Amino acid sequence: MKIIAIDPGYERLGIAILEKGTGKETLLFSECFVTKTTEKHENRLKLIGEELEKVIKKYQPEALGIETLFFKTNAKTAMKVSEARGVMLYEAAKNGLWVLEFTPLQIKVAVTGYGKSDKDQVTAMVKRLIKIEKPLKYDDEYDAIAVGLTFFACYRTR
């Protein structure tokens, strides 16, 4: 089974394609897609949709694993990320992908075994759980890979 996993964002979007056969999960692709702050809001959303469409068409995943949103303070940022997340869910539906959503707590438990893990602990475990061929510049890619690993951990139990 091949999936696309997303760490949703507006300025930076973590995207990973993972595949699971009879053995261990394999990372086929990952990137941190960045939109420029100088672009108009609606253009940034369009660029996110176009990038996802391109990745989905190239890798042909069956499903989408995506993190739910959790914001404590900044409502302006939360709205923009929510709108970007809507674009992501639209692209999944348009391409016939079924969707599993995970909370940050679920992802931390699935990857590290501890729900209060910090970003460094999640990143360290992702590096142990799956082979990554290239250096990753942003945490967003590690987070997307963690979402994918969570997908397969939960999918196994269904």
Tens place of pLDDT per residue across the chain (158 aa): 999 999 999 999 999 999 998 889 999 999 999 999 999 999 999 999 999 999 999 999 999 999 998 766 667 778 999 999 999 999 999 999 999 999 999 999 999 999 999 999 999 999 999 999 999 989 999 999 999 999 999 976 45
Look at residue 21 in the predicted model and tell me its pLDDT: 85
Active site residues: 7, 67, 140
Look at residue 73 in the predicted model and tell me its pLDDT: 62
Tokens read off for 145? 């890979």
Look at residue 126 in the predicted model and tell me its pLDDT: 98
Look at residue 72 in the predicted model and tell me its pLDDT: 63
Look at residue 53 in the predicted model and tell me its pLDDT: 98
Look at residue 118 in the predicted model and tell me its pLDDT: 95
Look at residue 75 in the predicted model and tell me its pLDDT: 73
Look at residue 125 in the predicted model and tell me its pLDDT: 97
Q: What's the distance, Cα to Cα, between the start and end of the chain in Å?
A: 14
